[in-house]
Amino acid sequence: MEKKRASLLRNPGVQTLLSSLLCILLGLVIGYIALLIINPAGAWGAITAIVKNFWNYGRTNLQLRYLGNTLVKTAPLLMCSLSVLFAYKVGLFNIGAAGQYVAGAGAALYFALALKMPWWVCMIAAILAGAVLGCISGALKSFCNVNEVISCIMLNWIALYTVNSLLNPVKNPTSPYTMGLTSVNPEAVMPSLGIEKLFTNNRYTTLAIPLAIVIAVLIWVLLSKTKLGYELKATGLNKHAAKYAGMREKTNIILTMAIAGGLAGLGAAMMYLTGFEEWSVTQSSVPAMGFNGIAAAFLGGLHPIGAIFSSFFIQHITNGGGYVDMTMYSSDISDFISSMIIYLCGFVLFFRQFMSSRLARRDEARKGGKQ
């Protein structure tokens, strides 16, 4: 029994899961402490409101409707986290997921509102826009040895302002937001395929949600079962050996960044082609979606299937932040708590390492004692 438990603890998957849970717990505790410091009276209510999210509603049909809202935003987050983890497996840190997401949003909305294209054309445009942006970072990395983190960060801003000016002609005359998708071009809204029925006719729940999960599985298959995955991971782990074995390591780096960019771009399509949100052409900060993708990738243990759950959790907490009592806390508090938790999500690998080194030490001590 003891032995069985010990070997279970040594399983890397279990270790990742445990450390992810530990991060979540720690994030909640620290968030709670912060709430206590600001206003002790409402702290418990606020933290439970965040964790409960859609359960804050008593009636099942409302619960389902708001669960739907969380899922609508989970799909793009999952795409961004897949974008980050895919690049990470090939040894690249794609902090540019945020910018590739912006590029995807710009392309999707421009094709939908200005060119009046159907949704699937807009979606492909978004994927391509993200991929092109990823390609630029990849090419700079492989041909000029420019660190991908630097080029990605700069491209994030370039993408933001380019998209702002690109979408300016299709904005609402009276507000900074782009025109409503449903009124201008209903063809561009992703089909629901009856999914909305499951979520009390939440019309934003579309094909995007199952598609995101399918893509997570595809990424897992690509990384672990295919020749391309074998080459890409080899390049990431040891580019010298990859070159020695005749793999085209430069092409592989560009291809990886293109795929990663395409994933983030698709994420933007999944967000803006539901009509759930419009793009504000006056925004001066890169949307957080891409950055949250980094946290979701790590919280999910850098595994595509893990990313499905971690993306849901992070979106759940972020949405839950909206239920905090605003009379007791400033409106920024929900963002503060969820960012606290997201921040701690980055510590998963650290906890996992700590756990396995502790186990190894205990093994040694026990072995020594026995003999």
Partner 1 sequence: MENPYAIEMLNITKRFPGIVANDNITLQLRKGEIHALLGENGAGKSTLMSVLFGLYQPEEGVIKKDGKEVSIKNPNDATALGIGMVHQHFKLVECFTVLDNIILGMEPTKNGFLQKAEARKKIVALSERYGLHVDPDARIEDVTVGMQQRTEILKMLYRDNEILIFDEPTAVLTPQEIDELMQIMRNLAAEGKSILFISHKLAEIMAVADRCTVLRKGKYIGTVDTKDTTVEALSAMMVGRDVKFHVDKEDKTPGDVILKIENMTVASRMHHNNAVKNVSLEVRAGEIVCIAGIDGNGQTEFVYGLAGLEPLVSGKITLCGKDITKASIRSRSVSGISHIPEDRHKHGLVLDYTLEDNIVLQRYFEPEFTKAGFLRRKNIRSYAEKLIDQYDVRSGQGPVTVARSMSGGNQQKAIVAREIDRDPQLLIAVQPTRGLDVGAIEYIHRQIVAQRDAGKAVLLVSLEMDEVMDVSDRILVMYEGEIVGELDPRTATAEEMGLYMAGAKRKEQ
Q: Which is nearer to partner 1, 198 or 247 (CB)?
A: 247
* 30, 228, 305, 328: which one binds partner 1 (CB under 8 A): 228
Both tokens assigned to 137: 């970072």
- Closest contact distance (angstroms) between CB of 215 and partner 1 is 17
225 binds partner 1 (CB under 8 A): yes
* Beta bridge mates, 280: 177
- Write out the H or E segment, with its range, that includes residue 251: helix 249-272
175-183, 194-202, 230-238, 264-272 -> range binding partner 1 (CB under 8 A): 230-238
Question: In whole angstroms, how far apart are CA 250 and each of 85, 255, 257?
Answer: 19, 9, 11
Question: In whole angstroms, how far apart are CA 329 and each of 9, 46, 318, 321?
Answer: 41, 9, 16, 11
Nearest to 296 by CA among 23, 4, 14, 72: 23
30-38, 44-52, 95-103, 356-364 -> range binding partner 1 (CB under 8 A): 356-364
Q: Which is nearer to partner 1, 203 or 243 (CB)?
A: 243
237 binds partner 1 (CB under 8 A): yes
Binders of partner 1 among residues 240 to 279 (CB under 8 A) are 240-247
H/E/C letters for each residue in 28-52? HHHHHHHHHHHCHHHHHHHHHHHHH
- Closest contact distance (angstroms) between CB of 262 and partner 1 is 18
Cα distance between residue 251 and residue 131, in whole Å = 14
* 165, 168, 226, 357: which one binds partner 1 (CB under 8 A): 226
Question: Amino acid identity of 21?
Answer: L
- Closest contact distance (angstroms) between CB of 233 and partner 1 is 8
Q: Which is nearer to partner 1, 52 or 233 (CB)?
A: 233
* 39, 56, 200, 238: which one binds partner 1 (CB under 8 A): 238
Which residue do the tokens 């950055």 mark?
291
Distance from the Cα of residue 58 to its chain's centroid: 29
364 binds partner 1 (CB under 8 A): yes
175-183, 232-240, 290-298, 344-352 -> range binding partner 1 (CB under 8 A): 232-240
Both tokens assigned to 92: 């690249």
Cα distance between residue 122 and residue 319, in whole Å = 27
Binding residues for partner 1, rule CB under 8 A, total 24
Do the Cβ atoms of 266 and 103 come closer than 8 Å? no
* 92, 234, 270, 281: which one binds partner 1 (CB under 8 A): 234
Which residues contact partner 1 by CB under 8 A? 225-228, 230-231, 233-234, 237-238, 240-247, 360, 363-364, 367-368, 371
